[in-house]
Amino acid sequence: MVDARTEEIGRNLVQVRARIAAACAAAGRSPDEVTLVAVTKTYPARDVTRLAELGVHDVGENRDQEAGPKAEAVGDPAVRWHFVGQLQRNKARSVVRYASAVHSVDSLRLVDALVDAAVKAERPGPLDALVQVSLDDDEHRGGAVTGMVEQVAAAIAASPSLRLRGVMAVAPLDWEADDAFARLAAIAGRIRQRFPDAGWISAGMSNDLESAILHGSTHVRVGSALLGNRTPLG
Ligand SMILES: *Cc1c(COP(=O)(O)O)cnc(C)c1O
């Protein structure tokens, strides 16, 4: 028995997978190169379970206060939690307990906090970490500014409790997506030259995943196209 909500998410998933496949075809890439991370913020734990039933095991959240209890409620070791939001250092201790990857590492101080927390949590393996890049050098919206990206990457790579996976960015609102993701691809290439294992590019959301895939995204973070439009937090 499949409930109506599972059917709804399933229909959305078919469309999102078709968009990813079409974008990969247009870019001459294989869809196997692109991981779909379902961003479940504001949606209940049950929707994460529904996504897992539908075969989606990579889930993204942007607030620890919401993600921690949700991960506990889901309680499925097959689900991988990707932390994609701005992360305060005092939340590192909590996040390392459930996250398999943090996409939003943007300062040396946050690296230190994550290392400290990961060591104390005695995780079985290293925490995957991506450097979030500020494409327009606006520090307020999160992301390391030009010049800091390599330093943050080097700090992650130097720590055995973290594993540098690559880079992440959100296209600035007032930029063409193609300009944003082309810039990110150039930065990703430089990072990969120095750290060959850092091949992930976390880029693309519901509205711009095609452009991100064209520019090499390996992880698209899709919320509303899968789960519906979020009601604005009032
Ligand atoms: C909410 C969010 C997404 C998903 O956005 P949609 O437009 O709903 O697909 C992706 N990345 C981050 C960092 C987010 O906060």
DSSP 133: B
Q: Is residue 233 in a domain?
A: no
Find out whether the beta carbon of 206 lies less than 6 Å from any atom of ligand 1.
Answer: yes
CATH number at residue 28: 3.20.20.10
C-alpha 80, offset from chain centre: 11
Q: Is residue 232 in a domain?
A: no
What pLDDT shows up at residue 76?
Answer: 97
Find out whether the beta carbon of 40 lies less than 6 Å from any atom of ligand 1.
Answer: no
Find out whether the beta carbon of 86 lies less than 6 Å from any atom of ligand 1.
Answer: no
What pLDDT shows up at residue 2?
Answer: 80
Look at the chain and report how many structural domains it folds into. Answer: 1
Q: Is residue 117 in a domain?
A: yes
Find out whether the beta carbon of 36 lies less than 6 Å from any atom of ligand 1.
Answer: no
The pTM score is 0.97
Q: Tell me the best of 58, 62, 219 to mutate to test the pocket of ligand 1, counting ligand atoms within 8 Å of each CB and taking the most.
A: 62
What pLDDT shows up at residue 140?
Answer: 81
Find out whether the beta carbon of 91 lies less than 6 Å from any atom of ligand 1.
Answer: no
Find out whether the beta carbon of 223 lies less than 6 Å from any atom of ligand 1.
Answer: yes
Atom from ligand 1 closest to the CA of residue 37: 10
Q: Tell me the best of 37, 42, 84, 130 to mutate to test the pocket of ligand 1, counting ligand atoms within 8 Å of each CB and taking the most.
A: 84
- pLDDT band at residue 14, thresholds of 50, 70 and 90? very high
Q: What is the mean pLDDT of residues 118-124?
A: 93
- β-strand pairing of 58-61 with 127-132: unpaired
Atom from ligand 1 closest to the CA of residue 84: 13
For atom 7 of ligand 1, the residue with the nearest CA is: 206
What pLDDT shows up at residue 234?
Answer: 46
pLDDT tens profile 48-84? 999 999 999 999 999 999 999 999 999 999 999 999 9
Q: Please, what is the average pLDDT of the chain? A: 96
Residue 129 scores a pLDDT above 60: yes
- pLDDT band at residue 232, thresholds of 50, 70 and 90? low
Q: Is residue 209 in a domain?
A: yes
Residue 188 scores a pLDDT above 80: yes
Atom from ligand 1 closest to the CA of residue 104: 13
Q: What is the mean pLDDT of residues 201-227?
A: 98
Atom from ligand 1 closest to the CA of residue 41: 1
Amino acid at residue number 52: A
Q: What is the mean pLDDT of residues 155-168?
A: 98
Domain residues for the domain of 128 are 4-227
